[in-house]
Structure 1
Amino acid sequence: MNKGKKITFGKISANFAEKATVVEATGAFGTFGSDAQTSVQIEALEDDVEHHNMQEIMGITQFGKKAKSFNIKEMMAEVTKTAREITKNSTQTESTDVEEDDDDDEDDIIGPAVPESYGKPAENMDKKEKLHGSESDSGDDEDDNENDKFLPLTSETSMKHGNKAVTALCVDPSGARLASGSVDYDVCFWDFAGMDSGMRSFRTLQPCDNHPIRGLHYSGTGDLMLVVSGAAQAKVLDRDGFEQLETVKGDMYITDQAKTKGHTAGLLAGAWSPVSREEFLTTASDGTARLWDLLNGGRNHKALVKCRAQNGLKVSPTACCYNQEGKVFGLGCADGSIQLWDLRKSTVAPSQQLRKAHLPAEVSGISFSHVGSQLLTRSCDDTLKLWDLRNFKRAVNHVGDLYSRYDTTDCIFSPNDKIVITATSAKKDDDCGHLLFYDTTTFELMRQLTIDSHVIKVLWHPKLNQIFVGNGNGIIKCFYDDRRSLRGATLCAKKVQKRIQHAEIVSSQQVITPHALPLFRQERRKTSKKQMEKDRLDPVKSRRPDLPITSGQGGRVASSGGTLSSYVIRNLGLSKRVDDDQDPREAILKYAKEAEDNPYWITPAYAKTQPKVILSESGEGEPSAKKSKTD
C-alpha cells in the first residue's frame, strides 16, 4: 500500500429519501456505491429463479399455508345480532306461559275472592328482623339435615361373638381388623377382607385364662393390642393374638403402692397413648394408675399416679382416656370425681379435678373431644355430662335418666365433634336398649336406635365411617352407609357365603325298572356312604392287613399251628391236627390202655430181658404205719 495516496469517500446527502451522489474512491479498498447495489439485486434474481424452478419440479404452486385473517368488528356484530334474537324469543315464550297459567288459576278459583290484607305481614314488624329470623331458621334446618345425613345408619350387619355380654371393642387404625372381648373370657379377631356374609371370626382365644375382658385397645400403629382383664396383670398381644408382653404383679403385702412394681388388685381400665407406640396406661382397684414402657418389658412401671378421694382415702379409677396430643390423661373415679393429670408436670397432684362431677357412683366412660377443649363423661348414676376444660367448674350440658347396668358403658364423640353418642341398658319392664345421638351444642336428641338387648360399647371409626356396637346378648352390630362408608363391613356384608359340599351324592344317573324280568333286572345302586360301608367289610377292597397271630388259631399259620414243632409235624403228615393248648400228660395217657393191650414199641423190646415183677403184699405181723403227732 502506498503511503502517499489518500482514501476519499463519497459525499452523503442529508435528504435520505433521494439517492446520494456517489463518488468513486480510489485506493486499496476498491469502490463503494452502485456496484454493491447491483450485486445484491443480481443475487435476489438468482434466488427467485431457483425458487421458481423448484416449484416446477415438485409440481406445487406455494410452500406452506397462508395465515387466516380475521375481522374482529364483523365477528362482534354477528354475535350481538344472535344474542338479541335469542332474548326476544325467550321473552315471548315466558309471556305466553304466564298468560296460560293465569287463565288456569282463574278457572280453578271457586267462591269469593281472597281479601288483599290476608297473608300480608304486620305493618309494625321490622322487615330486617323477619328476614334475619327466616335465614336463621333455614340455617338450623340445614344443619339438622346435614347431621342426619352424616350418621351412617342406612344399613346394618351383625357378628356373633358368643352368648354373653360384649364388654370390649376395638378396631385397628387402618380399619382392617376388629377385636372383641366378653365376660366369657374370650377374645375374637375379625378380618373384614377375609370374611363372607356368614361373619365368622378367624381366631378365638383366652389370653387371660378365667378373667373377664374389660378393655381392648390397639396401638397407634395397629401392630399391638392391649388386653385389660379382671386380673392384676395386663397383656400385650400382636395382630395375630400371640403374647408379646405381660406386666409384672405387685406385692400385695406392701401398703405403699409406690414401692411395688405393678398392680396388686384387678385391673379396671386401660388406654394406649395416641402419640407414642411404647407407652400405655392401666388403672386398677388398688387406687393407682400406672404408665408402662413397652421397651422395659413390663418389669416395672414408668410412672405412678395415686387417686385420692376428698377425705384423703384412696379411690379406684374406673375409666381413663388420653387426649389427642397424648400429654394429658383423664381419670373417672368410683366416687364420681374427675381428675386430669398432665404428663409434663409432676404426678403428685392432678392438674385439674372436680370432686362432685357425678353422684357417688362409678364413672363408666370418659372421652376427650378431637379438638381437645371438651370432655364427655358417663356415669352409673344414669347421667351423661359435657364439660368445657377452659371452665371446668360446671357442666355445659347434661342428660339424665339413662339407665346403665354395666360399669363399662361407653360414651364417645363423633369424628367432627358435632354429635355425642351413648348407650343405655334394658330396664326390667323393657327388653330393649337404646343407642342415643345428641347434638353437642344443644344436647337435643337427634336420633334414637332401639336394639333388642343391653347396649354397652360404642365405637365410631373415622376412616371407615362405621359404628360398631357391643350388646349384652353377645352380638356385635355394625351400622354403615352404603355411599359414605368405606371398606370394613361393606367388604363382607354382601359377599356370597361358600357352599358346603355334601358327601352323599349319586355318582351317575340311574334308571329304575321295578317290574323288569330277573334276567334284565339291575341291582339298585346305593349311596356313596352305604357303598363305602360295604366295601369296608370286604378285605380285598379295603386292603385289610394280615391279622395278628393268636395261639395258632387264625392268622397266617392257622392251618399249621402256632409253633415250629406243630408246623413240622403237620407238614410231614404225622399228625392231622395238633392243639397247642392241650396238656401233654393227658395226650399221652389217652393212649395208655391201647398201649397195654397192644404193645408195639417198648414192651416187646424188653419182653425177654425184663425181670418178673414182684409186688409186696401186706402181712399180718407187720407193724402199723407210724401215726403223725397230734397236739
Structure 2
Amino acid sequence: MEQQGEDRDQSKTSGTAGNDTDIASVMGFSGFGKKARTFDLDAIFEQTRRTAIERSQKVTEQREMKDAEKQKQALMIGDSHTGKASVSGGKARPGMSSSRPHSDSSSDSEDDSEDELIGPPPPGQLSSRRAAEEDEEFVGPPLPPGYKDSDEEEEEEEDDNPVKRIPDTHEITLQHGTKTVSALGLDPSGARLVTGGYDYDVKFWDFAGMDSALQAFRCLQPCECHQIRSLQYSITGDVILVVSGNSQAKILDRDGFQVIECVKGDQYIVDMANTKGHTAMLNSGCWHPKIKEEFLTCSNDGTVRTWDITNEKKHKNVFKPRSMQGKRVIPTCCTYSRDGKLIAAGCQDGTIQIWDRNLSVHTKFHCRQAHVPGSDPSCLTFSYDGTVLASRGGDDTLKTWDMRNFKKPLNVATGLSSFFPMTDCCFSPDDKLLMTGTSVKKGAGNGTLVFFDRLTFQKVYEIEVASSSVVRCLWHPKLNQIMVGTGNGLAKVYYDPIKSQRGAKLCVVKSQRKEKQAETLTQDYIITPHALPMFREARQRSTRKQLEKDRLDPMKSHKPEPPVSGPGRGGRVAMHGGTLSSFIVKNIALDKTDDSNPREAILRHAKEASENPYWVAPAYTRTQPEPVFAEEELDDEEADKEPEWKKRKI
C-alpha cells in the first residue's frame, strides 16, 4: 500500500511538471520564476522580542556609565542646539543624532534576499515593531531643564495669563436711554439681550436680527412707573424675571408679554411668614440654577422668598434674616449657589447670611461683620466651582469668602467707589478673574471695569468704559463677551473677533437698512367743530393707515383689475377660450370674415332640402301646406307700376 501511494505521488508530480513544461513551451518562456517565500510569524516575533530585550539592556548600561557626563554637558548641549534649524518634517530634539547605525552582515543579506522575494509582504505589526526597535537605539541625552518649544511657550503663556483671554478688542454701544441702565439680562444661548433702567423701560435686543444701526426691536414698561432693579432669563431662556421698585415681581415671555405676577402680601400683618407675598419694595431676584420653575426675591419687608412659577398666589418658602439682637434686617441682594442648595443674602447691617434651601429657620453660614454696617451690599455671586463667594459692598470694597471657612475673607480690595445699590461683580468663565465696576461723579472722570486675579487679588487689568459710572457687568461664558450698563443710559458690549462667538459679531457685519419714508398728505385739515355732520370732514388719525386703505380701493389707487380666471363672477366674463361656450362665441358666432348676405347664407341649403328632404319635411308632407317665400325684387319699371302704398318708404 505504501509503495502504491508513493507511486501515485510520483505520478502526480511528474504530471504537474509535464503540464508546467508544456505551458511554458507554448507561452514562450523558460519558467514561472522563484517560489514565494513563507514566513513563520511565531519564530519572528520571538526573535524580535529577544533582540529588543538585549538592546534595551545595552542602552541601560550605557546610560548608567555616562550619566555623570551627561548631567555636566546638558546645559552646554542645550545652548548649542537651541539656535539650530529644525529637521524637515518637524523640530529636531537637541542632542539627537540624525545618522543611523550600520546593520550587521546578516541584516544586509536578509535585505538582499527580501528584494528578490516574490509574494506577500510581511505583516504591518512586524514592520511597526521593527521600527520601534530601531527607534529605541537612538536615545540621545536628556533635554536640559526648562527647555520648551516656542509654540508650547506661547500656549502656556496664554494658559497662565488669563488677561489675554479678556475680549476687549472691539465694542458696540447700545443706546438704551438717557438714564441709568440698572439691569442686564442675557439668555443662555446668547441670542437676546434685555436691558432695564431708571426710565422704567425694558428694551429687547436681538443680535441676529439687528443691523449696524443697533436698534431694539421692542420697548415696554412692564411695571408702570417703577425703576427696574433686576432682569434675568430663566435657565431655559423662555421667560424673564422682572424685579422693579414695587412689591410684585413679574414674569415675561421672550416677546415681553406678561405670564404671571406675584401676589402682594398683607401689609397689616406683623409676622411676614404669614403673608402670601412681599409687602414692600423689591431689591433683587434671580432664578434657580437647576429648577426652571423656581425663583428668588428679596424685599424691604425683611424677607427672602422663593416662588414657584406654577403657583403665583403664594410664595413657596420664606427666609427672615435677623441681626445680632434678633431684630428684622432688610436684605439688599440675594442669590443661589451654583448647585442651588444654598441661598445667600447680603443685608443692610453689613452681614452675609446663608441658608440651606430646605431649612428656612436657622442660617447655615453667618458672617456678622462682612461689610460696614449700613453700607448696603449690592451683589453676591458664587464662583463656578462653588467654593468661593464674592461680595460687592457699598463700603467701596470687593471681598471673596471661602465657603469652607466663612469667618474671615480670603481677599479684600478697597477703593472701588460704588454709588448704586445694584453694582455688580462676576467671575470670568475660566474662574480665574473677578470683575466689577466703579462709579464716578459727573465730570470727575471715567467709570472703569476692573479685573482682579482670583488667587492673588491683584488688579491685573482695567477698561475705561465711559464718562459715567459702571453699574452692571455681565460676562457670558458661551459667547465670551462682556456686557456693561452705565449711568448715562448706555449698554456696551465688548468682544473679540477671534475669541468670541456670535453675539455682537452677528449685527456689526450687517449693513443698515433703508427706512421707508411714509407719505404725508399735502392738503391741510380744517377743524370745524360746530359744522353739521354732513359738512364736517372726517378726522384722519393716521396717515399711514389711510394710505393703506386707499391702496386697497381700486378706484382710488387706479389699480388695474386682474384677469378673471375660471368661470366668470360678479358680472364679468372669464378669459376667452377658458370654457367651451366662450370658445364657440369667439370662433363661430363672432366670426366676421363672411361678408355675404345673411339671407342668402340662411337659404343656401333650401333648394337641396326641398328636393331631397331627410329630417323634418318627410314627417309633415301630408299635413303642412306648401311654403311660400317672398318673391325677388322687381325691376325698376315694375316697381314704378306698383301702387304707392306698396312702395317701401326710405
- Indicate the TM-score class for this superposition, using the shorter chain for normalisation: 0.5 to 0.7
Deviations 1:384-409 (A, max 9, x none): 11222222222222122222111110
Aligned partner letter, 1:319: C
Change (3 A) 1:42 1:294: same
Secondary structure of 1:276's match?
coil
What is the DSSP-based 3-state SS (H/G/I as helix, E as strand, rest coil) of the residue aligned with 2:273? helix
Counterpart Cα distance in 2 of 1:503 and 1:254:
57
- Give the TM-score, by structure 1 length: 0.61
- 1:275 maps to 290
Spell out the pairing of 1:45-444 with structure 2 (5 A cutoff): 45-53=14-22, 142=157, 146-295=161-310, 297-344=311-358, 346-359=359-372, 360-428=374-442, 430-444=444-458
In the alignment, which residue of structure 2 is the partner of 1:42? 11
Give, as a single letter, the amino acid of the residue that structure 2 aligns with 1:255: V
**Are the equivalent residues in 2 in contact too, given 1:403–1:426 (CA < 8 A)?**
yes
Identity between Structure 1 and Structure 2 (%): 47
SS at match of 1:336: coil
Q: Which amino acid aligns with 2:241?
A: L
Q: CA deviation at 1:283?
A: 0.7
Structure 1 position 145, deviation (Å): 6.7
Match of 2:230, SS?
A: strand
**Is the 1:341–1:352 Cα contact (8 Å) retained in structure 2?**
yes
Flag the 1:58–1:162 CA change in 2: closer, same or farther, 3 A. farther
Give 5+ residue unaligned stretches, structure 2.
40-76, 85-144, 147-152, 520-546, 560-650
Aligned to 2:534: none
8 Å contact from structure 2 (residues 188, 236) kept in 1: yes
Structure 1 residues 10-49: aligned runs within 5 Å: 32-49=1-18
- After superposition, what is the alpha-carbon deviation per residue over 1:511-568, rounded to whole angstroms, capped at 9, x for unaligned? xxxxxxxxxxxxxxxxxxxxx9xxx9xxx99769xxxxxxxxxxxxxxxxxxxxxxxx
Cα distance change on mapping 1:370 and 1:39 into 2, 3 Å: same
Tell me if the contact between 2:390 and 2:398 (Cα under 8 Å) persists in the aligned partners: yes
C-alpha distance in structure 1 between counterparts of 2:238 and 2:324, whole Å: 40
Query: Distance in 2 between the 1:305 and 1:470 partners?
Result: 30
1:284 is displaced (CA, Å) by: 0.8
DSSP-derived class of the 1:469 partner: strand
Moved more, 53-62 or 143-152: 53-62
Q: Is the 8 A contact 1:403 1:427 kept in 2?
A: no
Q: State the 1:238 CA deviation.
A: 1.8
Q: Which amino acid aligns with 2:13?
A: A
- Are the aligned partners of 1:157 and 1:477 in contact in 2 as well (CA < 8 Å)? yes
Q: For 2:400 and 2:189, how far apart are their aligned partners in 1?
A: 29
Once residues 468 and 34 of structure 2 are traced to their aligned partners in structure 1, the CA distance between those partners, rounded to angstroms, is 84
- CA distance 1:211–1:69, change in 2 (3 Å): same
Point out the structure with the larger helix share.
2
Amino acid corresponding to residue 347 of structure 2 in structure 1:
C
Quick one: distance in 2 between partners of 1:474 and 1:429?
Answer: 16
CA distance in 1, matches of 2:33, 2:164: 63
Change in 2 beyond 3 A, CA 1:60/1:341? farther
Q: How many residues align?
A: 418
Name the aligned partner's letter for residue 459 of structure 1: L
How far did 1:53 drift? 5.0
User: Partner letter of residue 495 of structure 2?
Assistant: Y
Counterpart residue identity of residue 198, structure 2: V
Query: What amino acid is aligned across from residue 15 of structure 2 in structure 1?
Result: E
Could you state the TM-score of these two structures normalised by the residue count of structure 2? 0.59
Distance 1:260 1:502, change over 3 A: closer
Q: Which of 495, 502, 505 lines up with 1:490 in the alignment?
A: 505
Read off the aligned partner of 1:349 and give its amino acid letter: H
The alpha-carbon deviation at position 313 of structure 1 amounts to 2.2
CA distance in 2, matches of 1:431, 1:60: 100
CA distance in 1, matches of 2:395, 2:454: 21
